Structure 1
Amino acid sequence: MNNALLALTISLLFGIGTFLILRRDMMKVIIGFGIVSHAINLYIVASGVFSEGTLVPILEHHQAVHGLDQGLVVADNITSGIIGPITTNPYTDFVDPLVQALVLTAIVIGLATTAFILTLAYRINEEYGTIDVRELRRLWG
């Protein structure tokens, strides 16, 4: 994907989410937090893409054996900046699986948090009869 299009999408989602967070209706605020959360997750996943075919986090066995003949470095070397297998072969873009695991965890936590906030909004609506933030501020004193 084009980096400019990806940056535009992330910034657009972040802007829409921020706009909704600043609204008076509590439901719009909750939706805004969800959109900002998705924008942050998209940003984190986009940062884990290795372009130009220089970094390959996981190789299959036949790729590793074939790559040994063509300069594949298998051992980690932190001082040289080698954190995983690196090859000069023309592979396509890969995504770091650690970043994907972190974002998957963030999605699950975001879902649980959203469910909790929706439950709180429902209880506030039952108790006070409104979910307008200014009206609630007036009722609370």
Structure 2
Amino acid sequence: MIDKQKIDARAKQLNTMAAQGVPLEDNADLPDTLYYKTLCLLYGEYRRHIISVEEARKQKLKLTKDYIDSKYAIDKYHDGVKAAMELDKLIAPESKFKGMSKQEAFERLLRFQAILNGTLSKYDGDMPSMYSRLLEELRDDNDGD
């Protein structure tokens, strides 16, 4: 699930690291790296008196807003790709959707719905426990067919 509060918290963490000269983790993604490195440059310009405190604040505010907006957009894009891939599994010509059991089809649809809701990663691919009763009913229906 995309969480702007987590992105905001990460922005604050990167800002603190850049201000204190703490090295960035080796596994940081590209937006984090660009934001961190740009903050380091900004802090350096301020410390060398190349820019004023007002200008540094102004640039940092814009930089932080752009970082948060871009991270959010990237996360939305990745969620959209996941949803498209799941949808493709359902409707692609080579899809075995028509030959699936009710349970398999239901689980596929639940995965797709979880992606649309932004909750799939919360369950690590497992079906939410709230659906277990419905799945059990489907199993019972299939046993009776």
Q: TM-score range by the shorter chain?
A: 0.3 to 0.5
The answer to which structure has the higher helix fraction is 2
| TM-score, normalised via structure 2 length | 0.37
| TM-score, normalised via structure 1 length | 0.38
